[in-house]
Amino acid sequence: MKRYILNDLEAWKTSKRRKPLILRGARQVGKTWILKEFGKTYKNGYIYINLDQEENYVQLFESTKDIDRLVDMISMASGHQITTDTLLIIDEIQTSGAALNCLKYFCENRPEYHVAAAGSLLGLHLSDGFPVGKVNFLEMYPMTFSEFLMACGDDNLLAYMDSISEIAPIPDVFGKPLMEKLKMYYVVGGMPEAVKEWSEEKNSNEVDTILDEILLSYEHDFGKHTDSFEAPKLKLIWDSIPSQLARENKKFLYSVVKEGARAREYENALNWIVNADILNKIYAISKPGLPITAYDDLSAFKIYMNDVGLLRRKSRLSTSAVIEEDRLFTEFKGALTENYILQSLLTNLDMTPRYWKDTKNEVDFIIQIENDILPIEVKAGNSVKKNSIKKYEEKYSDNTKYMIRFSQKNLSFDGKLLNVPLFLADHLLQLVKCL
């Protein structure tokens, strides 16, 4: 299965500023697989070490900070000579603080070696104070809708989307099958194992089984990596996510987690799940100023899951509910669609979106493209009333070059509002260049 992150890895490989790489991402988004695939591009291949499964290697990192000595020992232990054209992959690196620390010495003393590290819950360990400036970071997300199409053999549909060079209506011969494929993406999501099962067998029951296993692995981490006091809080937050997203006003409320719950009691537990890359936290902004981060309202935020398929399964929405768009799906479609759009924005933009609200109105997402701050409205169905985004534009007309709406309506631009069909979310930057 092709992953676009391979292009980022190639850029890292040839960069003059290359440092040891830390590949971040939630469990089972494909970090190990992609590093091994990338390792095949090296003339001398790759050496793969899993510190969680091979404890003897942990001792090697603990025994010395001399990189030449460490490289010699790993070469002898693996039976594979490490050269400057070898990729050294250190998986589950969070298992060893000494191994994490060694990345600094690779950077300072032997930058010619190519070292890539990955691991589960890495965000938690890095937030404890990893040396800044000694490593490069890449974030890996679940497979995008575009990657899903490639995995399912729909390269022709993707090729059409890639070819769009002007804002004009999408012909039905492409638009209708793309909307049907998007429904399946809502069902399957972007976790590689689930996508592989669907692309090969088209077995939705097996897809559900795989998604259940992933959800359970996340819950298992709550108890394994936190104390007995915090673990129940994480579980309560985790179980509240569908209810949080089902509300029209999706601002995260601790009272939905548990009646009478206060932020000071549950804030650390929520941040744990966010740092584990399982949930995404999107802050409100008070106004659209530059830089956008300067206007975060840290008391108001929304929470989304890392994958639309996992959200669908976590919410116990059946496959048929999504495909046939029955009442059950219709009432929750907005949540799935917002989650999908956020996944696309996170993958394709180099910033985390925000959202805007005042006392009566709320705009789903606010993004920054170069020096333009753009409001985004997300509509799951055919109804495209734009009260909130219109209020935003009236209030900030001088700072709003144009607005974006994702919906089931066809591609169009009226001089102020760019309407983007939902299936073109991954191509937003491409479309913006056409304006």
pLDDT at 18: 97
Calpha distance 20→137 (Å, rounded): 9
Identify the CA nearest to 100 among candidates 121, 138, 133, 126.
126
Distance in Å from the first CA to the final CA of the chain:
33
Alpha helix (H) ranges present in 79-110? 97-109
What type of residue sits at position 355?
Y
Bridge partners (DSSP) listed for residue 376: 365, 404
Contact 175, 411 (CB under 8 A): no
Give the DSSP per-residue string, 8-51: HHHHHHH-TT---EEEE--TTSSHHHHHHHHHTTSTT-EEEEET
Scanning 115-191, the segments in alpha helix (DSSP H) are: 122-126, 145-151, 155-163, 172-188
pLDDT score, position 233: 96
pLDDT at 261: 93
In the prediction, which pLDDT does 215 show?
98
Reference 401, options 365, 428, 370, 426; nearest CA is 370
Question: CB count, 10 Å around CB of 237?
Answer: 25
The β-bridge partners of 90 are 49, 117
Report the 10 Å Cβ neighbour count for 140: 21
**Cβ-based burial of 352 (10 A; exposed 0-12, middle 13-18, buried ≥19):** middle
Q: Which helix (H) or strand (E) holds 406?
A: strand 403-407
Question: Which is it for the CA torsion 307, 38, 210, 217, positive or negative?
Answer: negative
Task: Return per-residue pLDDT of the chain as tens, 435 residues.
Answer: 899 999 999 999 999 999 999 999 999 999 999 999 999 999 999 999 999 999 999 999 999 999 999 999 999 999 999 999 999 999 999 989 899 999 999 999 999 999 999 988 887 777 555 667 899 999 999 999 999 999 999 999 999 999 999 999 999 999 999 999 999 999 999 999 999 999 999 999 999 999 999 999 999 999 888 888 899 999 999 999 999 998 888 899 999 999 999 999 999 999 999 999 999 999 999 899 888 989 999 999 999 999 999 999 999 999 888 888 777 677 788 999 999 999 999 999 988 999 999 888 899 999 999 999 999 999 997 777 768 899 999 999 998 999 999 999 999 999 999 999 999 999 999 999 999
Residues 329, 231 contacting (CB under 8 angstroms): no
- pLDDT at position 127: 58
What is the predicted pLDDT for the residue at 78? 96
| All domains of the chain in start order, with CATH | 5-139 (3.40.50.300), 145-432 (no CATH)
CB 368 within 8 A of CB 374: yes
Say whether the peptide bond before residue 242 is cis (omega within 30 degrees of 0): no
Instruction: State the DSSP H helix or E strand holding residue 67, giving kind and residue range, or none if neither.
Output: helix 67-78
Model pTM score: 0.95
pLDDT at residue 408 in the model: 93
Residue 245 token pair:
């997203």
Q: Give CA–CA dist 388/115, Å, rounded.
A: 48
**CA nearest to 284, candidates 193, 231, 362:** 362
